[in-house]
Chains A and B, each alone.
Chain A
Amino acid sequence: MIRDITIGQYYSGDSVIHRLDPRVKIWGTLAYMVSLFTFRDFAGYAVAILFFALVLALSKIPLSYAARGLKPIFVLMVFTAFLNLFWTDGTVFLRVGALAMTWEGLCKMSYISLRLILLVLGSSLMTLTTTPNQLTDGLERIFGPLKVFRVPIHEMAMMMSIALRFIPILIEETNRIMKAQTARGADFESGNLLQRLRNMLPLLIPLFVSAIRRATDLALAMDARCYHGGAGRTKMYPLHYGKCDFAAYGCLVAYIVILRAVVLICPW
């Protein structure tokens, strides 16, 4: 049944990239994604691809694994490529019936596809090397200053990590309930959509009941240990920038400088 669901898509490893402070990775990913929109020529893409390849190599994640993230956007990619290829004005070099391919369209298609691919690969490299909890921690620190404006950053981060923590528990629970109902002759696999939805009730009701019960228990347990929100709360493992993190920021700046330089110098 539901057995091998991985949460997020963390690829456990012990590389330099894995050990970086999550804040570096969040800012880095953001900067990289923005940088992808600052040029429209192949030289820029060469630099961007090179940088991605470098980080990927450092993270020791196989390309085939990282590329899995492309699967869900494949249809979107083909669709945009198709539109760009045939609906761009310019010099026509091939006609298929009423459709005309232009050189400009071909170039635009390659740009946009490459950009999409790099966007997805770049961001998935972050989620592949950072556990959801680290990400939450990083986000909490990054958005920390907003606390001044009474935005409940700590509470939001806490909710996120609790939610993440509960996913495997609820999956386990779902499995058990499915078994218990299957033993009573429940059928989750046949029938039309409406019937299937109806058949899910014996699964969903106990699952919700149990989730709510667990939430109440957890709230009580937190209360019993005097949890009172983020004010004055310290961390067991506070985030600290180390040498590697500063070096990583350095690399990021170097990448942007090189990218700008290459885009300015190279005419294509």
Chain B
Amino acid sequence: MSIRLSNVSFCYVNGGERTQVLRNLSLEIGKNELIGLVGQTGSGKSTLLQLMNGLERPSEGRVLLDGRDVAGKDFSRKELCSKVGLVFQYPEHQLFGATVVEDVQFGPGNLGWEPLQVELSAFQALKDVGIGEELLDVSPLALSGGQKRRVALAGVLAMKPEYLILDEPMAGLDPAGRREIFQLLLKLHRDRNMSIVFVSHSMEDVAEYAKRVIVMHQGKVVLDGAARQIFRFEKELEHIGLRIPQAARFMHRLRDAGFPLEEECITPEEAVQCILKQ
């Protein structure tokens, strides 16, 4: 059970000009993973996400979901949506319902479920993302930024996907909002065994929450592994315009200065523990 991309290339043609976005990329995302996808703007992250649920088709190579081709006739659009949920960066791009509940029901409604089941899953999803009852009949446009994002997330969760893919779910949120969204993702991951992939520009967030980190550069996966291992490559990451989390950088500097710190610490808490132990 996995999403497997094998030798995937993607390019688009605009006015006779070919732009290569992904080059011969292979990747496997298994069950119950929690993956942070990082890379500079234009490294192909968003395209990669869209390939995973069939919104874009690879120019070359194949994208297989549980062994079946996503781009081929194996899947109907609806079945794909219910397996791989994709949440876009801006909730404004999808909120349109007159009320929050109505909007969240749109996704499951499209899947052709029974009305009762649609309602149930919508309420469940809204409860999961922490939208209180007092907001259910409010227009989604009247919500705050963080609330909008949670409603948008609920709109996808209501379709009960096995994989949840989020394109910069934290952009434009304040620290409290970010933490809330992450706590929510962690809970989904833990309680529902949901596989989650999120794109983030904050290395601190990735270090804190992701179990596995995938680093992209110019349409290729350049690093892929446990967060702790990835952040050892400080030089290499800096070379492609990325920085390692502050805590890790701080620990590297301490070690360079001669302190005997053996462990690789990537979050502030770990760093504090490690230093106190010495």
Q: Which B residues, 69 to 119, have Cβ-Cβ distances below 8 Å to chain A?
A: 77-78, 81-82, 85-88, 90, 92-96, 106-107, 110-111
CA distance A179 to B51 in the complex (A): 12
Task: Say yes or no: is A14 at the interface (Cβ < 8 Å to chain B).
Answer: no
Q: Which residues of B contact A187 (CB under 8 A)?
A: 77, 110
Q: Which of B14, B96, B155 has the most CB of A within 10 A?
A: B96
CA distance A176 to B88 in the complex (A): 9
Q: Which A residues, 183 to 214, have Cβ-Cβ distances below 8 Å to chain B?
A: 183-187, 201-202, 205-206, 209-210, 213
Task: Say yes or no: is B223 at the interface (Cβ < 8 Å to chain A).
Answer: no
State whether B86 touches A183 (Cβ < 8 A). Answer: yes
Given known A-B contacts A184-B110, A184-B155, A179 and B88 have beta carbons under 8 A apart? yes
Task: Say yes or no: is A181 at the interface (Cβ < 8 Å to chain B).
Answer: yes
Residue of B nearest to A210 (CB): B92
Q: Which residues of A contact B107 (CB under 8 A)?
A: 184-185
Given known A-B contacts A4-B14, A202-B106, A209-B141, A185 and B159 have beta carbons under 8 A apart? yes
Q: Which residues of A contact B85 (CB under 8 A)?
A: 183
Q: Total interface residues on B, using CB and 8 Å? A: 28
Q: Which residues of A contact B87 (CB under 8 A)?
A: 183
Q: Which residues of A contact B156 (CB under 8 A)?
A: 183-184
CA distance A92 to B55 in the complex (A): 63
Question: Quick one: which of A183, A201, A209, A210 contacts B55, CB cutoff 8 A?
Answer: A183
Q: Which residues of B contact A182 (CB under 8 A)?
A: 55, 77
State whether A206 touches B96 (Cβ < 8 A). Answer: yes
Task: Say yes or no: is B50 at the interface (Cβ < 8 Å to chain A).
Answer: yes
Q: Which residues of A contact B141 (CB under 8 A)?
A: 209
Q: Which residues of B contact A201 (CB under 8 A)?
A: 96
Task: Say yes or no: is A180 at the interface (Cβ < 8 Å to chain B).
Answer: yes
Q: Which A residues, 138 to 195, have Cβ-Cβ distances below 8 Å to chain B?
A: 173, 176-177, 179-187
Given known A-B contacts A179-B55, A180-B94, A185 and B78 have beta carbons under 8 A apart? yes
CA distance A150 to B95 in the complex (A): 43
Q: Which of A3, A184, A202, A213 has the most CB of B within 10 A?
A: A184
State whether A206 touches B95 (Cβ < 8 A). Answer: yes
Residue of B nearest to A205 (CB): B96
Question: Quick one: which of B12, B14, B15, B94 contacts A181, CB cutoff 8 A?
Answer: B94
CA distance A206 to B15 in the complex (A): 28
State whether A184 touches B15 (Cβ < 8 A). Answer: no
Q: Which residues of A contact B106 (CB under 8 A)?
A: 184, 186, 202
State whether B110 touches A186 (Cβ < 8 A). Answer: yes
State whether B55 touches A3 (Cβ < 8 A). Answer: no
Q: Which residues of B contact A186 (CB under 8 A)?
A: 106, 110
Q: Which of A179, A181, A185 has the most CB of B within 10 A?
A: A185
What interface size band does chain A fall in?
A: 20 to 34
A44 vs chain B, min Cβ distance (A) = 39
Question: Quick one: which of B12, B53, B90, B95 contacts A183, CB cutoff 8 A?
Answer: B53
State whether A206 touches B14 (Cβ < 8 A). Answer: no
B99 vs chain A, min Cβ distance (A) = 13
State whether B93 touches A206 (Cβ < 8 A). Answer: yes
Q: Which residues of B contact A210 (CB under 8 A)?
A: 92-93
Residue of A nearest to B50 (CB): A179
Q: Which residues of B contact A173 (CB under 8 A)?
A: 93
State whether A185 touches B77 (Cβ < 8 A). Answer: yes
Residue of B nearest to A204 (CB): B96
Residue of A nearest to B158 (CB): A184
Q: Which B residues, 193 to 225, have Cβ-Cβ distances below 8 Å to chain A?
A: none
Q: Which A residues, 202 to 239, have Cβ-Cβ distances below 8 Å to chain B?
A: 202, 205-206, 209-210, 213
Residues of B within 8 A of A (CB): 12, 14-15, 50, 53, 55, 77-78, 81-82, 85-88, 90, 92-96, 106-107, 110-111, 141, 155-156, 159
Could you pull out 14 A-B pairs where Cβ atoms are within 8 angstroms? A176-B88, A179-B55, A180-B94, A181-B94, A183-B53, A183-B81, A183-B86, A184-B106, A185-B77, A185-B82, A186-B106, A201-B96, A206-B95, A209-B92
Residues of A within 8 A of B (CB): 3-4, 173, 176-177, 179-187, 201-202, 205-206, 209-210, 213
